[in-house]
């Protein structure tokens, strides 16, 4: 696998960060999930799967199995990109639900379960068995109930991605889902600024470039 720059997490919501796992941050297009190893690395950077689980699945996988899951993830990413591009700019309505049937089928495969633990136990690494790892938790005074997930096969790596996408459509106002205004940029984000004035994926990638272009055109016009 090719060593890439760290993946981009600038969308302010994990579902869009997943869509942004293919991008052109400088001038070469990078697909962070171009193969199985890339998918494992991206999931680890995204904090969606505990490192220990990733190591176990890497060990157990048959040759080519992780690459096949990465291909499925890329398919999901492109289908979902089309959905977001079509719907962003206005609140999602119930009419969008039929289009989300494939996502619902993925979510139906999840094998989540609840476990009680102590509140300090936040890493998911202390459970010690292969049954599952923390996928989310709700704290109480001394004990907490945690949502765990069984990671039965490499396929299960798609489940936290499905959960992130489901979070995007159910928790975010699509009015605030924006595409970066950079001319060649494909990155998307949720605009959480007070006046909804965010225009760029980041200043470093596109904002400064736009500023420089505006500066150059001012110089040209005045000279």
Residue corresponding to tokens 């309505």? 93
Q: Is 46 or 185 the residue whose CB approaches Zn ion more closely?
A: 185
**Measured from the CB of residue 24, what is the shortest distance to Zn ion in angstroms?**
9
Q: What secondary structure does DSSP assign to 36-79, as a single string?
A: HHHHHHHHHHHTSS-HHHHHHHHHHPPTTHHHHHHHHHHHHHHH
**Contacts of Zn ion in 136-195 (CB under 5 A):** 180, 182, 185, 187
Q: Is 144 or 198 the residue whose CB approaches Zn ion more closely?
A: 198
**Measured from the CB of residue 94, what is the shortest distance to Zn ion in angstroms?**
32
**Measured from the CB of residue 201, what is the shortest distance to Zn ion in angstroms?**
3
Q: How far is CA 154 from the centre of its chain?
A: 17
Q: What is the radius of gyration, based on Cα positions, of the chain?
A: 20
Q: Is 107 or 210 the residue whose CB approaches Zn ion more closely?
A: 210
Q: Is 13 or 156 the residue whose CB approaches Zn ion more closely?
A: 13
Count of residues touching Zn ion (by CB under 5 A): 7
**Measured from the CB of residue 43, what is the shortest distance to Zn ion in angstroms?**
23
**Contacts of Zn ion in 53-112 (CB under 5 A):** none
DSSP-derived 3-state class of residue 136: strand
**Measured from the CB of residue 7, what is the shortest distance to Zn ion in angstroms?**
15
Tell me how far apart the alpha carbons of residues 198 and 154 are, in angstroms, rounded to a whole number: 37
**Measured from the CB of residue 179, what is the shortest distance to Zn ion in angstroms?**
8
Q: Is 32 or 151 the residue whose CB approaches Zn ion more closely?
A: 32
Distances (CA, A) of 84 to 51, 97, 101, 169, 173: 29, 13, 15, 9, 12
**Contacts of Zn ion in 195-214 (CB under 5 A):** 201, 205-206
Q: Is 147 or 186 the residue whose CB approaches Zn ion more closely?
A: 186
| Other C-beta atoms lying within 10 Å of the C-beta of residue 156 | 18
Cβ atoms of 156 and 67 within 8 Å: the answer is: no
Q: Which two three-digit tokens encode residue 168?
A: 């995007």
Q: Note the residues at the interface with Zn ion (CB under 5 A).
A: 180, 182, 185, 187, 201, 205-206
């Amino acid at each position: 696998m090719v060593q890439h720059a760290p993946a981009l997490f600038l969308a302010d919501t994990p579902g869009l960060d997943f869509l942004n796992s293919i991008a052109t941050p400088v001038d070469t297009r990078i697909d962070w999930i171009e193969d199985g190893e890339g998918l494992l690395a991206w999931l680890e950077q995204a904090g969606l799967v505990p490192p220990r689980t990733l190591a176990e699945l890497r060990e157990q996988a048959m040759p080519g199995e992780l690459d096949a899951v990465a291909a499925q993830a890329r398919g999901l990413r492109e289908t979902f990109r089309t959905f977001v591009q079509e719907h962003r700019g206005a609140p999602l309505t119930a009419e969008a639900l039929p289009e989300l049937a494939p996502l619902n089928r993925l979510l139906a495969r999840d094998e989540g379960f609840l476990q009680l633990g102590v509140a300090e136990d936040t890493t998911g690494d202390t459970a010690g068995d292969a049954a599952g790892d923390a996928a989310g938790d709700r704290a109480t005074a001394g004990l907490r109930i945690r949502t765990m997930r069984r990671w039965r096969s490499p396929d299960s790596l798609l489940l936290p991605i499905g959960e992130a996408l489901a979070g995007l459509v159910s928790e975010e106002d699509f009015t605030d889902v924006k595409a970066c205004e950079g001319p060649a940029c494909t990155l998307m984000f949720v605009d959480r600024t007070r006046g909804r004035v965010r225009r760029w994926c980041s200043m470093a990638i596109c904002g400064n470039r736009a500023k420089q272009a505006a500066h150059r055109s001012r110089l040209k016009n005045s000279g």
